Amino acid sequence: MARNKYPEITVERILDVSQRLFLEKGYDGTTIQDIVNELGGLTKGAIYHHFKSKEEIMDALGTKMFLNNNPFATVKHRSDLNGLQKMREVIRVNQTNADRTELNKPSISILKNPRILAGIIETDRKVIAPLWLELIEEGNRDGSIHTSYAKELSEILQLLTSIWLTPSVYPASPEEIRHKFLFIKDMLDSMGLPLIDDEILASLDGALEGLEDCE
């Protein structure tokens, strides 16, 4: 069999097709064979050459979508914002990423897919927490943030938002989700990181409107 000279193109095709199918059919409703059928001649073996499982495809897709729409890169060089304002802008930009929001809507049972849970935690620890830390430290330097727990906050902030606020892990109604945000707000305020302001809460209320209970 001829060696693939452009494996990155094959990977990109697999991820593009997987993203479309996950959005159309949901993660649980999509099989590896469904992905093969949409790839026009690519075999199941070719997919498994690049990805060991559907969970691994989901991990790679999440990383790809984050890097393609990295809100931290968007704010990094903005001289008109201080550290705290950059953190709030990261949240705002992230909330407007419609594709990623839609991809997260399918009810993927994270607790029944430990590989996905492990992937989320690994990405949080290695990629996203250090980016939060950079902004918290910038805020400490410019005076917009006053905390002695920069590293700890960068880690717990991502852990809370990616795990604790995920209804498939901790079931909650829209009202309970909002109450969790208020808890996070009070906790961060008490540690010198007044991250959640009225604008973020208003945006949350808009997102929660009309949602059914996630219990």
> Which CATH fold would you assign to the domain 7-52?
Arc Repressor Mutant, subunit A (1.10.10)
**Alpha helix segments (H runs only) across the chain:** 7-25, 32-37, 44-50, 54-68, 71-75, 83-95, 98-104, 114-123, 129-142, 150-159, 174-190, 198-208
What pTM did the predictor assign?
0.74
Average pLDDT over residues 93-113: 59
Question: What pLDDT, in 10s, does the model give residues 155-170?
Answer: 999 889 888 988 878 8
Q: Tell me the pLDDT band of 213, cut-offs 50, 70 and 90.
A: very low
**The CATH number, out of the four listed (1.10.357.10, 3.30.465.10, 3.90.380.10, 3.40.50.720), of the domain defined by the range 69-208:** 1.10.357.10
| Domain residue limits, the chain | 7-52, 69-208
Average pLDDT over residues 16-33: 87
State yes or no: pLDDT of 193 exceeds 90: yes
